Amino acid sequence: MSDVMNVKKEKNYFNVFWISQSISMFGSQITVVGLPLTAIYYLNADSSQMGIFQALATLPFFLFSLFAGVWIDRSRKKYLLILCNILLATSLLFIPLGAHFNFLNLTIFYLVVFCAGTFSMIFELAYLSYLPLLVSKENLTKGNSKLEISRTILDISGPAIAGNIIAIFTAPIAIIIDIFCYIISSIFLINIKITESIKKNNNSTNILKQIQEGLNLLFRNPILRNISISTALLNFFRTAFDTIFLLFLVKSLFLTASKIGLILSLGSIGGIVGAFLATKISGKIGIGRSIIGSTLMVWLGGCIIAIFGGNSLFSVSLIIIGQIFVNFGNTVYFITQVSLRQSITPINILGRVNASNRFLTRGAMPLGGIFGGCLGVFLSLKASLIIITFGYIFAFILLLLSPVKKIKIISDAEEFVGKDLK
């Protein structure tokens, strides 16, 4: 009977968490479209300034993630998630206030982006370490898939809704919706009642030693190491691509905010398909092949967008198809590799391993933003996209040559890395 009750509690608490995240994800759709369009339309940012924007949004992963991982392992994750939601809402409030009272400029915009990026980074790391407390190991892939289904459904509807809201109220004012969503999300998190045990560390004052433990585990483990490096490559080129992509749609193709939202929404269909099929794909062809194949899909989709993108109806349709391929690949890749890492990493060090992973993978993103911005200054936007897209293939080649391809099920990874994870 107790096992049945535990299963029911697990399901109920996960469902509350799922709702909380879905509400937060909906609001974030407004900000994901609203922040860059605020820079482009309201502040008249060029490609180099958009590069700085992308760099500042992800720089906190490089600067603070390792320390955040230690903090997360020492803390109760739920309260960190709530705190970060409140701080995110507070920081984003300066965008609509600045626009309304005419004090918003690039300096304030950059400060808000950096602060919001910092709180988002801490939230993401705590979230990755909190989910294994809500669901059993065997249900992690299903849990991650459900969360990704919400994200991808909102990726379909969100940008179109965001584009229309922005067209009516302007980008800065539309961000107010995201602020309210963070507050509502926090209310749901408060209602999750689980006991979080915090393991006391004899060397609690030696933060650098604890950081080193997370880094050592990540880099000693050939599975985690190769996946982290491939993710860093994907993130580098994706951030470079994103730096140019919206500028390309606005300044080269002269598309409106509502049309851009429609393109992003339809392209997100690939994400929801990937979220539904990720578990089946990894079960059918194996975890390793699923991860490797998904990187190839990202590269193929990027090529379609960069090479064939234009402002004719046919070319815009190809952009949408390319987006579908990219989002499908990204979603399958994310679900599979995150579930693998969560399953084979001990819970007491998971925060630090997640932080070490994000330090490497997200630390590459500011460099990618700068790289994309520089390309946009010296080359045409279309030529920049073509060059950036071919960088995705490096991640595919790395994984193809690594032991990741040998992993069919979780136990294969546990046997392969053996004592490093004990």
Q: What mean pLDDT, rounded, does the chain reach?
A: 84
Rounded Cα distance, 382 and 219, in Å: 37
Domain presence at residue 199: no
Rounded Cα distance, 133 and 112, in Å: 32
| pLDDT of the residue at 3 | 42
Write the DSSP string, 107-169. Answer: HHHHHHHHHHHHHHHHHHHHHHHHHHHHS-GGGHHHHHHHHHHHHHHHHHHHHHHHHHHHHHH
Domain presence at residue 167: yes
Domain presence at residue 141: yes
State mean pLDDT over 244-273.
Answer: 83
In contact, 404 and 224? CB cutoff 8 Å:
no
Q: Supply 188's token pair.
A: 């749901």
Signed CA dihedral, 163, 166, 127, 111: sign only = positive
Rounded Cα distance, 372 and 247, in Å: 11
In contact, 224 and 43? CB cutoff 8 Å:
no
pLDDT, one tens digit per residue, over 62-111 is 888 888 888 888 888 889 999 999 999 999 999 999 988 999 999 999 99
Q: Give residue 366's Cα distance to chain centre.
A: 14
| pLDDT of the residue at 67 | 86
More confident residue, 216 or 411: 216
Domain presence at residue 196: no
Domain presence at residue 198: no
Domain presence at residue 197: no
Q: What range does the domain containing 50 cover?
A: 2-191+204-421
Domain presence at residue 380: yes
Q: Which residues of 81-107 are buried (b: 16+ CB within 10 A; e: fewer)?
A: bbbbbebbbebbebbbebbeeeebeee
Count of domains for the chain: 1
Residue 420 has pLDDT above 70, yes or no: no
Domain presence at residue 286: yes
pLDDT, one tens digit per residue, over 230-250 is 999 999 999 899 888 888 888
- CATH number of 231's domain: 1.20.1250.20
Closest-CA residue to 319 (of 412, 410, 253): 253
| pLDDT of the residue at 421 | 45
| pLDDT of the residue at 202 | 52
Give the largest CA-CA distance in the chain.
67
